[in-house]
Amino acid sequence: MKENNNSEKTSEIERSKSLKENILSYDDNENQTLFKFLGIEMTAPKGLKNPRIVYISFIVVNLFLLIILKNLISN
């Protein structure tokens, strides 16, 4: 019984570690500047992999959801 509980705990720990290893995981907390426009500076953690893709996908997904909501409300 105890062996089963221990194996469940270790598998849960392994799952949580694998979930942390995705596109949003990064190693350090230093910032990097992506771009400056009209006095607005977009920064991202230095260790973040492909920060421009993360920001662009966030904007595209939000615009897509906005269009869907607009169509649902107007109908």
Alpha helices in the chain (DSSP H): 2-20, 51-74
From residue 65, give the alpha-carbon distance in Å to each of 8, 24, 26, 60, 69. 38, 21, 27, 9, 6
Domain count, the chain: 1
User: Each residue of 34-45: b (16+ CB within 10 Å) or e?
Assistant: eeeeeeeeeebe
Per-residue pLDDT of the chain (75 residues; tens, 9 = 90+): 555 556 666 666 666 655 556 555 656 567 778 778 888 888 887 777 788 888 889 999 999 999 999 999 987
Range of the domain at 15: 2-74
pLDDT at 69: 95
Distance CA 68, CA 64 (A): 6
